[in-house]
Amino acid sequence: MEGKRRGALIVVEGCDRTGKSTQAKKLVDYLSKTGRYSILLHFPECSTRIGDIIHGYLNKYYNFDDRAVHLLFSANRWEFLPLIQSHIQKGVNVIIDRYAFSGVAFSAAKKGMNLQWCKNSDSGLPRPDLVLFLDLTPAQAEKRDGYGTERYEVEEFQDRVRENYLQLVDDNWMVIDASRSIEEVHKVLCAAVVKTVDSVDDNELETLWNKKTKRNYKMKIQKRGES
Ligand code: T5A
């Protein structure tokens, strides 16, 4: 791929019903229409054998130990790593609707689980160039269509998930007020994504969860507070 830039890795995250799938689809359409070739992935990806088990768990057909379920969600991402890498190398942008941050935020909201343990199984996956966190209170999300049918769609649980997400915010994150209209949110996301896609360099993607990256972010925050 000499002379050709790699693709960008962009993740859309948020609690349930915050509009992630709606926005991720619109983003891929927009990027493709403007000549920035892009593909859309969604986790959990239920087309595989692992994904099929996850689907059964979410729809309450099966029950597993919380740690086993966490590892299944994580394995589902690892099985798509070759596909993600090959697109990025070919210069195709990869937009992902939910990623490792969902894995950590949801699993760590369960009793007896913690953020650090939950991060371990996704550590080493590619770190996105940009994470778009669609932020909406669970009380607002509850009013949207289709809420309440899946295992985790309970307001108290979603409150803990949101708190966990906010602990994962890093310097590659953008927190977006998702209470606005679909078109208003889309406009904000497009501006951020185009900037990222058009400025991606030839550096390899970093990996999650790399201690050096987190330390740099803490230093940046400290500097801002000092000035
Ligand atoms: N999970 C997932 C884990 O526990 N661990 C993991 O590792 C992973 C990857 C399923 C569950 O699995 C958990 C998290 C989830 O609980 P899912 O398949 O992504 O994950 O869940 P879905 O049910 O498909 O999606 P969500 O509930 O998260 O919904 P979205 O994608 O956020 O919302 P969307 O776009 O489908 O919109 C929902 C409704 O709101 C409307 C839409 O039209 C739609 O009706 N809407 C808006 N309405 C008003 N204003 C706006 N701005 C709107 N945007 C969308």
pLDDT digits (tens, 9 = 90+) for 134-153: 999 988 988 888 777 777 87
Confidence at residue 211, expressed as pLDDT on a 0 to 100 scale: 64
Domain count, the chain: 1
Residue 37 falls inside a structural domain: yes
Q: What is the CATH number of the domain that holds 106?
A: 3.40.50.300
Token pair belonging to 60? 């309450």
Residue 48 falls inside a structural domain: yes
Residue 73 falls inside a structural domain: yes
Residue 3 falls inside a structural domain: no
Token pair belonging to 31? 């990027």
In ligand 1, which atom is closest to the CA atom of 73? 7
Give the global pTM: 0.92
Residue 216 falls inside a structural domain: yes
Confidence at residue 3, expressed as pLDDT on a 0 to 100 scale: 59
Residue 153 falls inside a structural domain: yes
Residue 24 falls inside a structural domain: yes
Peptide bond into 44 cis (omega under 30): yes
Nearest Cα to 28, choosing from 132, 122, 102?
A: 132
Nearest CA to ligand 1 atom 28: 16
Task: Please give the residue range of the domain that contains residue 72.
Answer: 9-222
Token pair belonging to 214? 């987190």
What residues line ligand 1, using a CB cutoff of 6 Å? 14, 16-22, 43-44, 58, 73, 98, 102-103, 106, 144-146, 150, 152, 181-182, 185
What single letter denotes the amino acid at residue 123?
A: S
Residue 227 falls inside a structural domain: no
Token pair 């953008």 is at which residue?
174
Distance CA 124, CA 73 (A): 15
Which residues of the chain have a pLDDT value below 50?
1, 215-227
